[in-house]
Amino acid sequence: MYLKVNKNKVKAKVNPDMIGLFFEDINYAADGGLYAELLENRSFDYFPSKVDAYKSPLTGWKAVGDCELLARKTDPMNGVNPGYVRVMAKAGGGLANRAYEGCYLEEGEEYRFTFYSRGSYGGKVVFSLVSGGETVARAEFDGVPEKWEKRETVIKASKTVYDAEPRITLSEDGEIDLDMCSLFPRKTYNGRENGLRPDLVRALKDIKPGFMRFPGGCIVEGNGLANRYRWKDTVGPVETRKINWNRWQEGGVGVTATNYYQSYGLGFYEYFLLCEDIGCQPLPVLNCGMGCQFQCEELVPVNELDEYIQDALDLIEFANGSADTQWGAKRAEMGHPAPFGLKYLAIGNEQWGEEYFRRFEAFQKVISEKHPEILLITSSGPACAGKDFEAAWNWLDEKGPGFAYAVDEHYYVPSNWMFANTHRYDDYDRNGPKIFAGEYACHVGHGQPRPNNLEAALAEAATMIGFERNADVVRLASYAPLFAREHFTQWTPDMIFFNNHELMLTPSYYVQKMFGNNLPEHTVEFSCTHGENLYVSAGVKGDEVIVKLVNNSHQPRTVHFGCQGGTAEYLTAEGRHPKEIMEKKNTMEEKFQVVPVTETFDGAEYTLKPFSFTVIKYR
């Protein structure tokens, strides 16, 4: 077949932010995941939720030796998170933390342990990390002050273990109060004390994302408005960030997770820092005065939205205001005097219907007047078709150009839908709101867990080719969800799986990376012959032509480009027959079943592998 690319015939300018990330705290993506804190329920503040009405504030902790643990709130360290534990122990007794599934410790690496304590105890407080009955790291503290005081130390692991149990014990009989017990590896991304797992951050950075949407997702809405995400609760000293239960304790398609809470150690300040670290634009999502419509019907009356709208204005000031403004000063106090440069803001997650339209209008009126530089994103609901979707577009058509920058469309759909709808945006109004494909993924099959296999990756690549061909309409796109911790997963598929010491990159991840690393500056016209089951986009970056192709056929296909050689990066798998090839996936045990391969070619043609996604570059 012949593919003729007219690199001088520009069709559209591609948004450099186009290929992005969507981070939601689902599947233990934050606490127990990207956020590098190793201890679970560090502040003894778990509380009853809608899912677990009897949740203990000591969840995640247990007594060791001869010891009694008493959850208390009288005369707390602070009034925001008032819980603490009173430890009443005989010599050698104390408490231990579950640490999710135990701590991974690397031989020779250092770990920072901090805690707050008070009491009249004069013996030693011993912190140890124990695996298989062996102490791998240990530190001692002399006595306990009468008033709350922070203590800290740095310890070094004597060997590599995967299941260390953190313990705090007393060397003598005694009684002490403990709060905010925390353990971090010193080796976090950029070495920050309240930092992130470096391997997970590097995986994000390697995509070369243009933006990151955060913190959700359904947790923005909450299972009831009392459970909604409040960004102001997530900034300032970590001890005073008000803990919340996670809406994904229920409502996923995996395990019920009654121990799933949000410490907010990974809060809005850290999200903005992460975006800066990996070189992308922040795209926060704020609650619009509505709870999750799948779980509740709670609404804030439109005439009582002032607090919510003010939260949006204050967030813009926190991100962009000078250090002499109220919220800009808060940012500077946290360590970042310079503005973060926020330009995108989403109001509501995947809300729908008249109640949402009225609330978005209230936000839009105020924000567009006070901050016309902010690009507002609205929602078309949770599905990519149907009456709610159509109602959203009818509403936007009535509002006219300029009302919203982009519409957030979501779709979790099977592969046949994705392959059949690569031309979805060809007929969209070029003068209307732009498209933000804020959540999408291919869902293969009907069982659980749904696989991240080659079939899903190729369908997603074909869909993204459709995005790129329509780059004048589709300005932003992000796969969802991003992270999933092994054994703690509520939703599949996901882009990156991890446990306490390693990660696994899925074929879907590699598709995102291949797009993010090969984004053209402009799309250009092209023509091809014999294109059945072939999906193509073409663009240019400087004098380089970039062509993306999905060959959804069991046959190899030789493509004549009319060039003098170039490079080809392709993603496929080995197999004896089509079904085996398409079902290939990566696992924790076999991480490299489906990975990209790069090669050079000479002359004017290149042969596409069966069932493959390929990026061709030539000059």
**Dihedrals phi, psi of 409, to nearest 5 degrees:** -105, 135
Cα gap 168→175, rounded to integer Å: 13
Q: CA–CA separation, 228 vs 550, rounded Å?
A: 41
Cα separation of 211 and 516, whole Å? Answer: 11
Q: For residue 596, how many other CB atoms are within 10 A of its CB?
A: 17
SS3 367: helix
> How far is Cα 556 from Cα 537, in angstroms, rounded to an integer?
19
**Catalytic annotation, residues:** 350
Tokens for 413, please give them.
């759909």
In angstroms, the CA 446 to CA 611 distance is: 22
Secondary structure class of 567 (helix, strand, coil): strand
**In contact, 161 and 131? CB cutoff 8 Å:** yes
Cβ–Cβ under 8 Å, residues 229 and 251: no
Query: What is the three-class DSSP state of 100?
Result: strand
Q: Is the preceding peptide bond at 493 cis, omega within 30 degrees of 0?
A: yes
301 contact partners, CB below 8 Å, separation of at least 6: none
Q: Whose structure tokens read 């799948």? A: 294
Six token digits for residue 263: 């410490």
Q: What does the alpha-carbon distance between residue 73 and residue 52 come to, in Å, rounded to a whole number?
A: 20
How far, in Å, CA of 523 to CA of 397, rounded? Answer: 27
**If 0-12 CB within 10 Å is exposed, 13-18 middle and 19+ buried, where does residue 617 land?**
middle
Contacts of 519 (CB under 8 A, 6+ apart): 14, 16, 18, 19, 208, 210, 541
How many CB atoms lie under 10 A from the CB of residue 231?
A: 23
Tokens of 512: 């995102």
Q: What is d(CA 140, CA 210) in angstroms, rounded to the nearest whole number? A: 46
Q: Which of helix, strand or coil describes residue 148? A: coil
Q: Which two tokens stand for residue 69?
A: 């643990």
Which residues, including other chains, have CB under 8 Å from residue 320's CB and lie 6 or more apart?
A: 328, 339, 340, 341, 342
Cis amide bond preceding 449, omega within 30 = yes
Going by their DSSP bridges, the two strands 483-485 and 496-498 should be labelled as parallel
